Amino acid sequence: MEKSLLIVESPTKVRTIKKYLGGEFEVKASLGHIKDLPTKLLGVDIENQFKPEFQIISGKDKILKELKQAAKKIHHIYLAPDPDREGEAIAWHLAEELAGKDKEFHRVLFHELSPKAIQEALAHPEELNEQRFQSQLARRILDRLVGYQISPLLWDKVKRGLSAGRVQSVAVRLICDREREIQAFVSREYWSITAALQADLPPDFEAKLIKAQGKAVKIANEQQAKTITDRLQQESFQVIHIDKKERKRNPLPPFTTSQLQQESFRKLRFPAKKTMFLAQKLYEGVEVGDEGLVGLITYMRTDSTRVSQEALTAVRHYIQGQFEAEYVPGKPHFYTNKKSAQDAHEAIRPTSMNLSPDNLARFLDKDLLALYRLIWNRFVASQMKAALFDQTTVDIQAGDFLFRASGSVLRFPGFTAVYEVGKDIVSPEEEEEEKKGQLPVLQVHQNLTLLRIIPKQHFTQPPPRYTEATLVKELEEKGIGRPSTYAAIISTIQEKDYVKKEKYFFSPTELGFLVNDLLVKNFPDILDVQFTALMENNLDQIEEGKQEWTKVLGDFYQPFSKDLDRARAEMKQVRGKGVKTDIICPTCGKPMAIRIGKNGPFLACSGYPACKQTQNFVRDEKGIIRPVNAETPQSDPSGKACPQCGKSMVVRNGRFGSFWACSGYPDCKQTQPISPEGQPSEEPSPPVISDQACPKCGGPMVVKKNRFGGTFLACEKYPKCKSTLPVATEFPCPTPGCSGMLVSRVARKKGLKFLGCSRYPKCKTMIWGKPVKETCPQCQAPFLVEKTTKKEGTVWSCANKECGYQQKQERD
């Protein structure tokens, strides 16, 4: 029987699929895209209907040569990259490169890697989808036109190495706009009054004051609160109305991509990038004992809530076996997709109800198991009955005042027996407000005993900063980007230093504010949220055959090119000049300007080079610039005392920025890092003692930081013993025959961190990237190296230079 060739994206898929196919198929991997636009050129012929100039990606020649060799004598070639736009582009380019007179290409869509799904997909292949390919092509060219024409402007006007993106820049704008809302917010004082009450039977309960003389109560200050409290002490409290009703809480649908990213952050605190990486592993296959590689979930890039009839039958049977029959609804739940949803794939669900998280616990690492359990529980819960609550609301009269108490009792848990929806990070007051206490048995006209009146001061709060979950939610609701790109967007804006993340919350950096303001002023359409959402809709219409891709690009480029020409002539020159502020130079009296240096933003005199005065600065919670003056140290405005001697802490400048130091220097040399708000950070934790002994004196070695931010081991007895060692990692040197381990090192000239062999100078191996604890599927090297490039985003490659294995992890 003649063999056929099946081409997928990743080697992991190859191993999973080979298990289920006989000898009639040869299975190969393309390792992601094989062709792309050139790296150093625009690669788009704007005058010729935006014709792209694709070329073989550097390093993919060897892979393409192997694929051509495998396809040489084969008639039927099945192209099975991922079932989305990017996968369609890969399939299209493979067909172009492997084309021949006797070749017949078939498009195969694997929505899950289970035996039945694979056989079904191969039995019913499709034609290559030109409209889906054109949609991806339009997106790629749009991103190239924006990125490759705005970024050089930023290099010239602001700083080398900056970048702009059609979607990433809008995400930065959302974060900048939110930060300015917070800075402009004026907090307002208000008070609440709660009555602690007692009935004939326990428990005691609380009721909140809601009305005074028939109108909604508003208590502005302590004096008003005291007046009302004094009056209430004289009143009798009586129940005047009781409302009891059944409340139903319905389960949520199984996960879409964006919902998985949001819930994974809320419940597991996984960043979107980590969530998608783990989900990719679950989809492509995980080693499960004697069964080998098994695909555990359906395709993880989807915005559909649809579930196959077979899966519905299986989960309903599972629920009936695990719970009582009353937990299974009479009919399966069907969930409505959003209007903009692509229904090509099912929702994210387990591939088999026989593979429960408990059964797989010994095969999966902690994070993989946590995400799989989340997906499993959400899917099971989505087909269970609603939870039922008895909700009671009680109105209580006290003279001219009306109080209200509410409480709920769970009568039937339903889906909550399996799954509770995660919540975004909220303030303690909001969390307290959500809690509903249990009420005693009460009757209308029943008199109550007042135990105490509780007045409480509050302040209105500014809108919260975005977390990964709320940013993904905002991007989805506003139609910015696609769920499959959110992880890459969030990762990119952090890597470019446009935003920073502190305790889960995003805020713009000075660079982020500066670049955002320039782009908003000069490219109002590109940075407009509604315009970006409209472009996403146009891309969807290209895929649906409702618009021509060249027309969409033409309609976009005509106004964009005018903005581009105007920006080249009018965009403010920041590089070398900075952005002027209201701060006056203490040396010459001219305005100080914010400039961006290689070590970050700083204040410099606008009279440079005649005046070379510079200062560091911080911003307060209102966004106001506070200079940090080295010559005249400032007292700590918070009044925090030195933890060593009790004297006040002051701001000083060092060669690597500002820091807090004891005003008793040199008698006391206590220092602390300075926070973005200008306050001393928490006291440094005690030194971390390693398990290594000093090679010179035998004393303990402790972890220290050098001036470049790298870590090393130093003898605890310093300065008596000045022995140091590099920090060893768990990764062995990848050079064949070398017995060394990789250790953390820092390049002296530029301060760049890298990993080097512990046997240096005998072995000079260097790793410029982040090691990942994954075995190379080609040469079985014990780890891969993660690198981020402008061309392909995040890529994992083998540390063994002779191997050449690469796998793209995220799509732009």
Q: Tell me, rounded to whole angstroms, the distance of Cα 696 from its chain centroid.
A: 46
| pLDDT over 70 at 809, yes or no | no
Residue 681 has pLDDT above 50, yes or no: no
Q: How far apart are CA 10 and CA 82, in angstroms?
A: 10
Closest CA to 804 of 23, 274, 60: 60
Q: Please say if 299 is a catalytic residue.
A: yes
Q: For CA atoms 448, 452, 457, 462, give the dihedral sign.
A: negative
Q: Mean pLDDT across the stretch 691-714?
A: 69
Strands 401-412 and 205-212: antiparallel
- Cβ within 8 Å of residue 2, ≥6 positions away: 74, 75, 76
pLDDT higher than 50, residue 769: yes
Q: Judge contact between 790 and 812, C-beta under 8 A.
A: no
Comparing CA positions, the residue from 776, 781, 773 lying closest to residue 806 is 776
Tokens of 75: 């008639």
The pLDDT score that the predictor gives to residue 687 is 55
In the numeric block, which tokens belong to residue 539? Answer: 């891309």
Cβ burial of 310 (10 Å; 0-12, 13-18, 19+) is exposed
Q: Which phi and psi angles does 360 have, rounded to 5°?
A: -100, 0
By CB atoms closer than 10 A (0-12, 13-18, 19+), residue 709 is exposed
Which amino acid is located at 18 in the chain? Answer: K
Q: Return the DSSP state at 693.
A: E
Own/partner contacts of 145-149, CB < 8 Å, gap of 24 or more, are: 145/42, 145/44, 145/46, 145/553, 145/556, 145/557, 145/560, 146/526, 146/560, 148/42, 149/42, 149/564
DSSP 344: S
Using CA atoms in the order 585, 587, 589, 591, what is the torsion angle rounded to 10 degrees?
-20
Q: What angle do CA 256, 496, 535 make, to 5 degrees?
A: 50
656 neighbors 628 (Cβ within 8 angstroms): no
What is the pLDDT averaged over residues 85-96?
A: 94
739 or 8, greater pLDDT? 8
**Among 385-399, 411-425, 642-656, which range has the highest average pLDDT?**
385-399
- The arithmetic mean of pLDDT across residues 374-378, rounded, is 97
642 near 649, Cβ under 8 Å? Answer: yes
Q: What is the mean pLDDT of residues 479-504?
A: 89
Q: Which distant-in-sequence residues (6+ apart) come within 8 Å of 374 by Cβ?
A: 260, 263, 264, 267, 268
pLDDT tops 50 at residue 222 = yes
CA neighbor of 303 nearest in space, from 475, 139, 510: 475
Residue type, 471: L
pLDDT, tens digit (0-9, with 9 covering 90-100), for 421-470: 887 775 555 555 555 567 999 999 999 999 999 999 999 999 999 999 99
Do 163 and 496 meet the contact criterion of CB atoms below 8 Å apart? yes
Q: CA-CA distances (angstroms) from residue 420 to 164, 275, 385, 423, 504?
A: 39, 19, 14, 9, 21
- The answer to whether 666 and 644 are in contact (CB under 8 A) is no
Give per-residue burial for 190-223: e unless 16+ CB within 10 Å, then b: ebbbbbebebeeeeebbbbbeebeeeebebeeee
From the list 738, 722, 726, 801, the residue with the least C-alpha distance to 769 is 801
Amino acid sitting at position 644? Q
Contact 263, 347 (CB under 8 A): no
Q: How far apart are the first and last CA of the chain?
A: 41
Model confidence band, residue 658 (pLDDT cutoffs 50, 70, 90): low
β-sheet bridge partners, residue 754: 745
pLDDT at 161: 82
Q: Give the chain's mean pLDDT.
A: 86
Residue with tokens 């299975």: 27
Task: Say what percent of the chain tops pLDDT 70.
Answer: 88
- Whether residue 160 contacts residue 525, with contact meaning beta carbons closer than 8 Å, is answered with no
Grade residue 585 by pLDDT with cuts at 50, 70 and 90: very high
The partner residues of 208 in beta bridges, in order of sequence, read 194, 404
Contact criterion met (CB below 8 Å) for 466 and 202: no
Q: Which of 78, 148, 299, 466 is catalytic?
A: 299
Please list the residues that pair with 6 across neighbouring strands: 27, 78
Q: Give tens-digit pLDDT for 774-799.
A: 767 666 677 888 887 656 667 888 87
pLDDT of residue 630: 47
Look up the pTM and report it. 0.76
Tokens of 136: 């991806």
